[in-house]
Structure 1
Amino acid sequence: MTEYLAGTQTFTATCPKGLEGLLVAELRDLGAVEIREQPAAVHFTGPLALAYRCCLWSRLANRVLLCLAQVRIDNAEDLYHAVAELPWEQHISPSGTLWLQFSGTNREIRNSQFGAQKAKDAIVDRLRKQSGARPQVSRHNPDLTVALRLHRDKLDIAVDLSGDSLHKRGYRTHIGAAPLKENLAAALLLRAGWPQIAAAGGALLDPMCGSGTILVEGAMMAADIAPGLQRDSFGFERWLNHQSDIWNCLREEALERRRRGLERELPEIRGYDADAKVLFAAEANIARAGLERHVRVSCRPVSAFKVPTHRQVKRGLVLTNPPYGERLGEQEALRETYAELGRQLKREFPGWQVGIFTGNPELGFDTGLRSHKQYQLYNGSIPSRLLMFNVREHAADAKVEEGKPALSPEAEMVANRLRKNLRTIGKWAQRNGIDCYRLYDADLPEYAAAIDIYQSLDGGRHAHVQEYRAPSTVDEHKARTRLRDLVRAVQQVLEIPQDAISIKERRRHSHKSGGQYRKQTEAAKSFWVNEYGAELEVNLYAYLDTGLFLDHRPVRQYLRERAHGKRFLNLFCYTASATVQAALGGCRQSTSVDMSKTYQAWAARNFRRNHLDGRQHQLVEADCLRWLDSAQQNRRGGYDLIFLDPPSFSNSAKMRGVLDIQRDHAKLIRQCMNLLGPEGTLVFSNNLRTFKMDKELAAEFNVEALPLLDRDFQRNPKIHNVWEIKHPER
């Protein structure tokens, strides 16, 4: 191997979104060090032998990349020179074949195909200049695959050591109508605890096995078979720096482990499906994996799903990926399938662990089981969940499990409304990749509360219940009873444990506490959520607000779509979630102003989580009113996009005077327009339901109301007001 690649190297393993944490643990077990996680990828260091081992043994990764360089580029010429400077003659013969994978854009390089072409020219020109020959470009089994990723102005250049994606094990030539990728199946097995269950002798059963991917992956884990052992080739095998002696040793070791694993008695691994045709595919895949003596499949409907009787089967794991409406059949027809599965599990599988992977969690409710864990994953582009259940051992326990918490007749109406909203708003949120949304907003006047759902990045689901102030005619005890019933309905319908429900109560005990929410707990319980690719911190417990205004979701998306290449100002920035979205949309510089130390620290955590450079994206702890006055005096300006979202009223001790948005908005808007470039846009928002825009502003500027309310807030269109304000054309 060339000297500059000797010793410890830096690698990146890519994976499907949601598998990062599992991949970190797997890489650590394989010997990786200096591990750093980011969305859909994990960076680590080690020798080349470690990268080979990861290609051979990783059950979760898509690709393993050898990182050659990370450079800052502004334009196409920078890209060309950065790539041309690397010693490609040490990686590929001039007579070899080359392929490039380019992802990402910036202000100047707006097309990934153009970026790939420019990088290809740089490599080819360098090799032709040195040898007089040039490699050919070929996508089919190239001698070298170069992976380039452009994120804003940073270009990562790497050699793809994998070749085809590592999820392609080589055993699956037949697939069903709704295939599950091999590395996703492996992730489900790991999340469900299959390695521990198999070690204890437990069985693995799949009542709707399709083409058998879960079964084959489970058998390979139980038999200690390297998932890459049957692949035809890897990308590194024709790379000039390939170390065949290291690779041959690793492969021989894997073959020996496979031989020893298959000599042991494996747990019972069986699959069933009502479709005889799809079982032909399953049998072909199982045989190609060399597991036909260890994995069996049979044609059987869900209604006949039972524990196998031909050998003494211990308790184990039932894991399945049923159809869920988006892919096969109609949703209503599937409800009975899920219900029948639940009945068979409770009747035939007491004491077993059960995992159901579905892109439609509402169908999971139809099993009648109560999930104790939920993990969020993606089946391709479909947001999905792995629902985990413990089936009770005794009939009495099973009866409790099937039963529902006692609800008053009125609360049962709330439960029915929640179920209806899950089928409408919940489904809408799922289709649009929205993890945090409002499910209920005082739909029934007697149960006056808002219920928001927050799905965390680690797969947990949380509910945020905010009680609205009851009329003075409603007895305090009755109001509390209704709130209790509402929370029980949330637990029953959403299957959320009590410790994942935040309750903000309004009390009228005294003048001092009368209009305020009472915290459920003083403990700070923060977690991270996803919003259109941004990772944002929320806390449902410690503060009045959660750190993320859900009704402003479309406003943040609107800002992100218009931020590319612009200077962005965010006033009254709160936790700066709008700035994070603008930054991910490509704004070239931002300033975010808020006087709260708590929110500034919160914003800084959001910035770090999303890898935002503090020099490019500045946080300013200051009273926005004073900051605007100072900006006018110092003639600070030139912003292309400004977001002004002040509170309706504030008399904070830190502020100079009192802010009343109805009284003061005209002055604030004029000050912002003084800072705005001639082609710029001010987005002004507030939540005062009685707000009226000053008519004189419309004579000075182009003022347009924006209908930015998503479906989950359209029941109350007065919840906030948004305007786009621009300088008049001259």
Structure 2
Amino acid sequence: MAPVKAPHKRTAGHKIERNHLNMRHFFATAPHGLEELLAAELKSLGLEEVRVQRGGVAFTGSLSAGYRACLWSRLANRVLLSLTQFRAQDDQELYQGVQNINWAEHLRPEATLAVNFTGVRAHISHSRFAEQRVKDAVVDQMRERTGARPSVDIEHPDLRINVHMVEDAVTVAIDLAGESLHRRGYRQHGRAAPLKENLAAAMLIRANWPELAAKGGGFVDPMCGSGTLLIEAAWMASDSAPGLMRTRFGFRGWLGHDDAAWKELLDEALERQERGLHTMPMIMGFDQDEQAVAATREHLQRAGLADRVMVERREIAQARPPEGSPPGLVATNPPYGERLGENHELMPLYLRLGQTLKSHFGGWRAIVLNGAGCQLGLKPEKSWQMFNGPIECRLERFEIAEHAGSQDHAPAQDLVNRLLKNQRQLKKWLTREGVGCYRVYDADIPEYALAVDIYETDEGRWLHVQEYAAPASIDPHRAQARLRAALSVLPETLDTDPAQLVLKVRQRQRGVSQYRRLNEQGRMLEVREGPCRLWVNLTDYLDTGLFLDHRPVRTWIGENARGKRFLNLFCYTGAATIHAALGGASATTSVDLSPTYLDWTQENLNLNQCNSPRHQLGRADCREWLNQCRESFDLIFLDPPSFSNSKRMEGDLDIQRDHAELIRAAASLLSPNGILIFSNNRRGFKLDPALSQEFRIEDRSAWSIPADFKRHQRIHQCWFIHPNESTDARR
């Protein structure tokens, strides 16, 4: 609470004189950036001498004025009633100033209290110490006068005391709210809230929702989450006071509380709500997440709106206005990361939102809390900076043209033509080979530097889109515009639900970065490759769990594994192992250092009913494992990373430097007629010429590149390595 300017003369605990002593002085705190909105709101409530100050809004009036702010403010966090102001150079003067207040007028000796201290360039910088001194001053006074003392209750005190200090100027106040006013009472305790209720209300006020609602305009939240925007919109439209559901206010345990004045305000609010509910416009919410829909319905039930607000499970592209509703407001808070612009992969979601608005909400207004820095393909009519907790966002308001969707011209037509051409060229091969996961586009047109992979699943077709990082010479705005254009045409061109497009940025990876976790969705999709069923994850990692360019090698392994002992080194998710197992291998061994990928391999084995003891997994550094192994194998697949420096391994692995050692160690485990398949995707890799003196080596690189990767022949290299007679003799 911002203190009134004090006189120059300072003495410990000396009161600052003020005029109009018959008036109460209040301060309503507000989230950063909402002070002006809060001031306008308090003026609309009929409060007097409303003044914007740092951190909130000051106003004056009777005690009922403070109660009215607690009951009706949709934006404030707290409403503080000033008791006194004084100067304090140190903690002793703070203690004395607090003791000058007669605390018997405010709480009973057996009551509980809590103290909150805030400061700006405060002479007492340690807030916990200051809170302790204020508490001591109150407790010591009451114990001296009554022989009893209040106790401390941080969570639910009878009286919450707020102390604010600017340099040496101190304001002591009663917190009439008790706990933050954004807690309306309809949200289930313990459930994460991505958007606070007063921030949701601010969004709606910025969009002028009350005026739209008064004209009968409808309301839609296409990504409603737990329903905060829906409930706040419904309460605004029905003239419902946001504090009606709260069972606790800070003034209820305060001895100065005027219960008659409070009940009069409650009666008025209940009458206004009863009238308003009958004239409320149509309000609808959608979300693709079943749990979000369930949470929304639960909160609507608690808010008394279950039969007045409709909620359905729908993906963003299926969101539509309520039937028969006049144009109104679309308001939503899409997902975003912790920092503006961090979650590049959310761009498809924001583009789908923009396309839905243009196609189906012509004539409506939209307000979007954009924390991802992604463009919707629409130009905001107005925008504001807004903080959702520590996250800086842009609150963007759009006016959707009546026929916005029909005005769109076909963007990226050259990309569309190339995609259709590639599909035609691959069609016969896909049908003949029974391929369901393949690359349909790989930066064929330089302006669209993307790799586009199709994954056919039981849940329909998915698109896995990787944007190659643009060179520094490319204008980032132009690159972003082309990416937006590409993402807008990919789903329709490739006959895919827009919700089943996943975007990632592909950069050259070193070490463990290529295996780092990007997300926590944990959504596994089942795909087929020949006779194999395999789990892929398109969202959580840079790679999906299936290297599509190695399909011919895996197929060959399956066709040639019958009766053989198979070893899969650096096994990743075990796709080659599954081919070998289903191809009739007598035994398989899969080795990797990552527990995540070994678990994934086991899940793939289970999916194909290959969970017998014949199929062994080994968690180890492959180089150490090779040095210790005493078994022999008929078929070995060695596909190491280009570079690895995992903390779980000794030293690092550089495949150009270390491949000869690896090949020799693996080949030493081959049976006399065995085959070692060695592959890697390092650019510019050269096989050590000395190896051709020790082994019979076939370069099978051209053969190993499948039809969908023929445009990039150097995506990997592959050799079949056989022991020669001299190798056998040395055994």
TM-score w.r.t. length of structure 2 = 0.53
Amino acid at match of 1:272: F
Deviation at 1:379, TM superposition (A): 0.3
Amino acid at match of 2:317: S
User: What residue number does 1:128 align with?
Assistant: 143
Deviation at 1:333, TM superposition (A): 2.8
CA contact (8 A) 1:369 1:402 kept: no
The structure whose Rg is larger is 2
User: Is structure 2 residue 368 aligned with structure 1 residue 356?
Assistant: yes
User: What residue number does 1:300 align with?
Assistant: 314
- Which SS does the other structure have where 2:328 is aligned? strand
Alpha-carbon spacing, 1:396–1:50, altered in 2? closer, same or farther (3 Å): closer
- Which SS does the other structure have where 2:93 is aligned? helix
CA deviations on 1:524-563 (whole Å, 9 max, x unpaired) are xxxxxxxxxxxxxxxxxxxxxxxxxxxxxxxxxxxxxxxx
User: What residue number does 1:374 align with?
Assistant: 383
Query: Which one of the candidate residues 305, 309, 320 is aligned to 2:332?
Result: 320
User: What residue number does 2:287 align with?
Assistant: 273
CA distance in 2, matches of 1:113, 1:85: 21
User: Is structure 2 residue 85 aligned with structure 1 residue 70?
Assistant: yes
CA deviations on 1:10-32 (whole Å, 9 max, x unpaired) are 10000101111110011111122
User: Is structure 2 residue 394 aligned with structure 1 residue 385?
Assistant: yes
CA distance in 2, matches of 1:331, 1:56: 38
CA deviations on 1:618-675 (whole Å, 9 max, x unpaired) are xxxxxxxxxxxxxxxxxxxxxxxxxxxxxxxxxxxxxxxxxxxxxxxxxxxxxxxxxx
User: What residue number does 1:344 align with?
Assistant: 356
Amino acid at match of 2:301: A
CA distance in 1, matches of 2:340, 2:188: 21
Alpha-carbon spacing, 1:5–1:148, altered in 2? closer, same or farther (3 Å): farther
CA contact (8 A) 1:174 1:281 kept: no
Alpha-carbon spacing, 1:97–1:176, altered in 2? closer, same or farther (3 Å): closer
Q: Which one is further off, 339-348 or 171-180?
A: 171-180
Deviation at 1:324, TM superposition (A): 1.5
CA distance in 1, matches of 2:193, 2:275: 34
Deviation at 1:178, TM superposition (A): 5.4
User: What residue number does 2:706 align with?
Assistant: none
User: What residue number does 2:161 align with?
Assistant: 146
CA contact (8 A) 1:350 1:393 kept: yes
User: What residue number does 2:475 align with?
Assistant: 416
User: Is structure 2 residue 237 aligned with structure 1 residue 225?
Assistant: no
CA deviations on 1:576-622 (whole Å, 9 max, x unpaired) are xxxxxxxxxxxxxxxxxxxxxxxxxxxxxxxxxxxxxxxxxxxxxxx
CA distance in 2, matches of 1:232, 1:358: 33
Amino acid at match of 1:344: T
Deviation at 1:327, TM superposition (A): 8.8
Alpha-carbon spacing, 1:88–1:342, altered in 2? closer, same or farther (3 Å): same
CA contact (8 A) 2:193 2:226 kept: no
Deviation at 1:279, TM superposition (A): 0.9
| Structure 1 residue ranges without an equivalent (≥5) | 404-408, 423-730
- Which SS does the other structure have where 1:315 is aligned? coil
Deviation at 1:199, TM superposition (A): 0.5
Deviation at 1:185, TM superposition (A): 0.4
CA distance in 1, matches of 2:388, 2:131: 28
Alpha-carbon spacing, 1:415–1:348, altered in 2? closer, same or farther (3 Å): farther
User: Is structure 2 residue 51 aligned with structure 1 residue 14?
Assistant: no
CA distance in 2, matches of 1:322, 1:38: 31
Deviation at 1:376, TM superposition (A): 1.3
Alpha-carbon spacing, 1:328–1:171, altered in 2? closer, same or farther (3 Å): farther
Deviation at 1:414, TM superposition (A): 9.7
Alpha-carbon spacing, 1:5–1:121, altered in 2? closer, same or farther (3 Å): farther
User: What residue number does 1:205 align with?
Assistant: 220
CA distance in 2, matches of 1:105, 1:328: 28
Deviation at 1:97, TM superposition (A): 1.1
Q: Where in structure 2 are the equivalents of 1:76-91 lying within 5 Å?
A: 76-91=91-106
User: What residue number does 1:644 align with?
Assistant: none
TM-score w.r.t. length of structure 1 = 0.53
| Structure 2 residue ranges without an equivalent (≥5) | 1-18, 413-446, 448-471, 482-731
CA distance in 1, matches of 2:391, 2:279: 37
CA contact (8 A) 2:283 2:322 kept: no
CA distance in 2, matches of 1:108, 1:199: 50
Amino acid at match of 1:18: G
CA contact (8 A) 2:371 2:393 kept: yes
CA distance in 2, matches of 1:393, 1:415: 36
Deviation at 1:256, TM superposition (A): 1.3
Alpha-carbon spacing, 1:396–1:95, altered in 2? closer, same or farther (3 Å): closer
Alpha-carbon spacing, 1:14–1:107, altered in 2? closer, same or farther (3 Å): closer
CA contact (8 A) 1:176 1:210 kept: no
How large is the RMSD of aligned CA atoms in angstroms? Answer: 2.8
User: What residue number does 1:282 align with?
Assistant: 296
User: Is structure 2 residue 269 aligned with structure 1 residue 254?
Assistant: yes
Q: Which one is further off, 26-35 or 216-225?
A: 26-35
Deviation at 1:6, TM superposition (A): 7.9
CA distance in 1, matches of 2:346, 2:192: 16
Deviation at 1:49, TM superposition (A): 0.4
Deviation at 1:372, TM superposition (A): 1.0
CA distance in 2, matches of 1:175, 1:343: 35
CA contact (8 A) 1:73 1:79 kept: yes
CA distance in 1, matches of 2:349, 2:203: 21
Query: Which one of the candidate residues 70, 78, 95 is aligned to 1:55?
Result: 70
User: Is structure 2 residue 129 aligned with structure 1 residue 117?
Assistant: no
CA contact (8 A) 2:359 2:406 kept: no
Amino acid at match of 1:51: G
CA distance in 2, matches of 1:265, 1:164: 32
CA distance in 2, matches of 1:127, 1:176: 40
Deviation at 1:307, TM superposition (A): 2.1
CA distance in 1, matches of 2:179, 2:167: 27
Q: Where in structure 2 are the equivalents of 1:17-56 lying within 5 Å?
A: 17-56=32-71
- Which SS does the other structure have where 1:65 is aligned? strand
CA contact (8 A) 1:392 1:401 kept: no
User: What residue number does 2:499 align with?
Assistant: none
Q: Which one is further off, 228-237 or 319-328?
A: 319-328
% of aligned pairs identical? 46
Q: Which one is further off, 104-113 or 274-283?
A: 104-113
CA contact (8 A) 2:122 2:165 kept: no
CA distance in 1, matches of 2:286, 2:72: 28
Amino acid at match of 2:279: E
CA deviations on 1:144-201 (whole Å, 9 max, x unpaired) are 1110011211111101011111100001116865521000000000001100110011
Alpha-carbon spacing, 1:110–1:418, altered in 2? closer, same or farther (3 Å): same
Alpha-carbon spacing, 1:141–1:419, altered in 2? closer, same or farther (3 Å): farther
Deviation at 1:418, TM superposition (A): 4.2
CA contact (8 A) 1:104 1:151 kept: yes
CA deviations on 1:393-424 (whole Å, 9 max, x unpaired) are 13598448999xxxxx9xxx9993346799xx
CA distance in 2, matches of 1:327, 1:209: 22
- Which SS does the other structure have where 2:284 is aligned? strand
CA distance in 1, matches of 2:295, 2:38: 29
CA contact (8 A) 1:11 1:64 kept: yes
CA contact (8 A) 2:217 2:328 kept: yes
- Which SS does the other structure have where 2:218 is aligned? strand
CA distance in 2, matches of 1:168, 1:100: 20
Alpha-carbon spacing, 1:111–1:419, altered in 2? closer, same or farther (3 Å): farther
User: What residue number does 2:626 align with?
Assistant: none
